[in-house]
């Protein structure tokens, strides 16, 4: 279903922009006839809804992907907290969530502020976050 929406959004945007090119081309011509102007109106009538619908589909897919990514990060974060009895390291979170270290640290810093977590240093010198249940 997701692939169908992607293809539909792409086709609708392409068709919409092609039809929207007609008024641009016609109205910039000096020798446009009344029939050409009617073609331009037809281009607007068909092009605008197609482009708007395709844009809406693309935006909804992007929004859904963003929400799924946030849900995945949250579930990974809470799972690792449970497994580590409240302790989590940047490296472990980055590996499990498939994030770069800087993004993982930023996410954990935000969660640490949100939940008033403590920071600590392990024997190996790594920084860990300690969340109190």
pLDDT tens, 74-109?
A: 999 999 999 989 899 899 999 999 999 899 999 999
- pTM listed for this prediction: 0.63
- What class is the 84-133 domain? mainly alpha
Q: Which long-range contacts (CB under 8 A, 24 or more apart) does 74-83 make?
A: 77/107, 77/108, 77/111, 81/131
Measuring CA to CA, how many Å separate 110 from each of 32, 75, 79, 103, 115? 60, 15, 17, 11, 9
Q: What is the mean pLDDT of the chain?
A: 89
pLDDT in tens, 2-47: 899 899 999 999 999 999 998 888 878 888 788 888 888 888 899 9
CB 9 within 8 A of CB 61: yes
Tell me what pLDDT residue 29 has: 82
Mean pLDDT of 109-121: 88
Tell me what pLDDT residue 96 has: 93
Q: Name which residue leads in pLDDT, 52 or 25.
A: 52
3-state secondary structure of 19: helix
Tell me what pLDDT residue 97 has: 93
Domain ranges (residues) in the chain = 1-69, 84-133
Q: Which two tokens stand for residue 126?
A: 């790594």
Q: Is it the case that residue 48 has pLDDT exceeding 90?
A: yes
CB 12 within 8 A of CB 53: yes
Tell me what pLDDT residue 37 has: 83
Tell me what pLDDT residue 110 has: 92
């Amino acid at each position: 279903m997701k692939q169908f929406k992607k293809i539909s959004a792409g086709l609708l945007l392409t068709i919409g922009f092609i039809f929207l090119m007609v008024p641009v081309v016609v109205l910039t011509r000096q020798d446009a006839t009344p029939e050409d102007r009617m073609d331009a109106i037809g281009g607007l009538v068909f092009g605008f809804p197609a482009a708007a619908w395709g844009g809406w589909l693309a935006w909804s897919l992007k929004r859904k992907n963003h929400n799924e990514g946030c849900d995945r990060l949250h579930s990974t974060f809470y799972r690792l907290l449970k497994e580590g009895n409240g302790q989590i390291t940047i490296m472990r979170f980055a590996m499990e969530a498939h994030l770069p270290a800087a993004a993982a640290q930023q996410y954990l810093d935000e969660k640490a502020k949100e939940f008033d977590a403590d920071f600590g240093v392990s024997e190996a010198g790594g920084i860990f976050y300690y969340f109190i249940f």
